[in-house]
Copies of this chain bind each other. A is one copy, B any other.
Amino acid sequence: MQFKGRDIVSIKDFSREEIDYILKTAASMEQIAKQGSDMLHGKILATLFFEPSTRTRLSFESAMNKLGGTAIGFAEPKVAAIKKGENLADTIRVVENYADVMVLRHPLEGAARLAAEFAKVPVINAGSGAEEHPTQALLDLYTILKEKGTIDGLNITLMGDLRYGRTVHSLAYALSLYNVKLFLVSPELLRMRREVSDAIKQKITVVEASAVEDVLAETDVLYVTRIQEERFPDPTEYTKVSGTYKIDLKTLKDAKEDMIIMHPLPRVDEIDHEVDNTPHARYFQQVWNGIVTRTALLALILGAKK
């Protein structure tokens, strides 16, 4: 398998075999992520955030530093050259001279693909439009594999905003490469986009439900996402819905003992804080797994040797 020099734009660009290899590499990086290393000494990561995302940006910078490399970049469009009217292709052809790899977040769908086409160095998509967030999907898979020992054979529930959340789109595509049963739980207005659900239904069993209680007893992994008020034309509609799509101790009374709860964070109140101390909670472990997965990706696409 060839990873050196490769872009990470969409999870759809990767075969199951390749994803398995990335997950295996991640597992082998746990110690390195803990202790630090000089694997990427002298290498530079550029973080280009045309849309703010502190946690994703810091996660990549931390991963790069843990491998002995350095990071430069910008955290906000306002500071960026684009203010002067420069187009993205020009920005990319400038920044590729500064760095060995670049991480891009952009409000427009297709931005990461365009950047990858122009850049001489590998481009990692850290979220473009409502479309894709492939490294989040990979760290989610890594978390499931690490916690359950397998992905195949699991019943996985995606709950919340399945329409606008780029995280769940990338994750759903990735899960469709495995032998899983997928429950989709969301309000009517925030159902999984048709193009995503059509594509994954050709590969795996997908069951749509409107209440988490209907599927919880069967669920091995419950993946919760935030429902944003601004998605609703009517605030009272939002209040009704957000009260329903909420996990607390009462919701969990029928859950399997070893069911795990994941969340891409930040959460607001869709998971009650009393759940944090139950053996189900894994959302903060996901953050660490993100560091591990990103060290693996950086090492692979920069061709680092241990």
B62 touching A291 by the CB < 8 A rule? no
14 sampled A-B residue pairs with Cβ under 8 A: A35-B42, A36-B41, A44-B62, A53-B81, A54-B79, A55-B81, A55-B94, A61-B72, A71-B72, A84-B266, A90-B265, A93-B287, A94-B284, A98-B291
Task: Write out, one digit per residue, whether chain A residues 67-111 have a CB within 8 A of any chain B CB (1) or not (0).
Answer: 010111111101111011110001101110111000000000000
Contact with B along A10-39 (1 / 0, CB 8 A): 000000000000000000000000011100
Cβ of A163 < 8 Å from any Cβ of B?
no
Q: How many residues on the A side are at the interface (Cβ–Cβ under 8 A)?
A: 51
A→B interface (CB under 8 Å) = 35-37, 41-44, 46, 52-55, 58-59, 61-62, 65-66, 68, 70-76, 78-81, 83-86, 90-91, 93-95, 97-99, 265-268, 284, 287-288, 290-291
Q: Is the CB of B65 within 8 A of A266?
A: no
> Within the assembled complex, what's the spacing in Å between the Cα atoms of A267 and B95?
15
Let me know if A65 and B70 touch, CB within 8 A.
yes
The 4 closest A-B pairs by CB, nearest first: A36-B42, A86-B266, A62-B98, A97-B287
Cβ-neighbour of A54 out of B74, B93, B284, B288 (below 8 A): B74
Contact A72 B58 (CB under 8 A): yes
A52: contacting residue among B79, B85, B267, CB under 8 A: B79
**Chain B residues near A78 (CB, 8 Å)?**
52
Residues of B within 8 A of A79 (CB): 52, 54, 75-76
Contacts of A58 on B, CB cut-off 8 Å?
A: 46, 72-74, 95, 98
Residues of B within 8 A of A61 (CB): 72, 98
Query: Using Cβ atoms and an 8 Å threshold, which residues of chain B touch A42?
Result: 35-37, 66, 68
Shortest C-beta distance, A46 to chain B (Å), equals: 7
Is B284 a contact of A59 with CB atoms below 8 Å? no
Seed contacts A36-B43, A71-B72, A90-B267; 6 additional CB < 8 Å A-B pairs: A42-B66, A52-B78, A54-B81, A55-B81, A65-B70, A93-B284
Residues of B within 8 A of A68 (CB): 42
How far does the alpha carbon of A93 sit from the alpha carbon of B52 in the complex, in Å?
A: 20
Q: Give the nearest-CB partner of A72 in chain B.
A: B61
Task: Chain B residues near A99: list those with CB within 8 A.
Answer: 62
User: Across the interface, do B46 and A94 meet the contact criterion of CB distance under 8 Å?
Assistant: no
Taking a contact as CB atoms closer than 8 A, the residue among B43, B70, B76, B288 that contacts A97 in the complex is B288
With a CB–CB cut-off of 8 A, which chain B residues contact A46? 58
Residue contact A80 to B54, C-beta cutoff 8 Å? yes
Say how far A61's CB is from chain B's closest CB, in angstroms: 4
Contacts of A74 in B (CB 8 A): 54, 58, 75
Question: Please, which residues of chain B bring their CB within 8 A of the CB of A71?
Answer: 72
Residue of B nearest to A94 (CB): B287
